[in-house]
Structure 1
Amino acid sequence: MAQPTDPRPERRAHLERCWQQECDIDPMILRMRLLRHQGALPQAACLEQELQPLF
């Protein structure tokens, strides 16, 4: 069975915190895609500008 590369609990806790923070981004990306699909390109562009600094 494969061993984890870094079994320290603090590493796992740090990774869990990162995943929790990224979950807040997903609804905004989905909203931007929906706006584009609906033809609301100016609104989608505004939302895209809000997301830009995150990447």
Structure 2
Amino acid sequence: MTKVLVIGATGSVGRHVVASLVEGGHEVRALVRALVRDEATPGSRRASRPSRAT
């Protein structure tokens, strides 16, 4: 399994790229502008903001 970062994963082209990669068995990380739109990406998991250690 290959790990892939897709920038613009919720865009008109990016969502198809993500779907193809997921179908191909790749581990996909998606960089999106807004956390709300990530739900439109097929095969996506709920996004969360990174936490900071204090």
Q: TM-score, normalised by structure 2?
A: 0.39
**Larger RCO of the pair (alpha carbons < 8 Å, separation 6+):** 2
More strand by share: 2
More helix by share: 1
Q: TM-score, normalised by structure 1?
A: 0.38
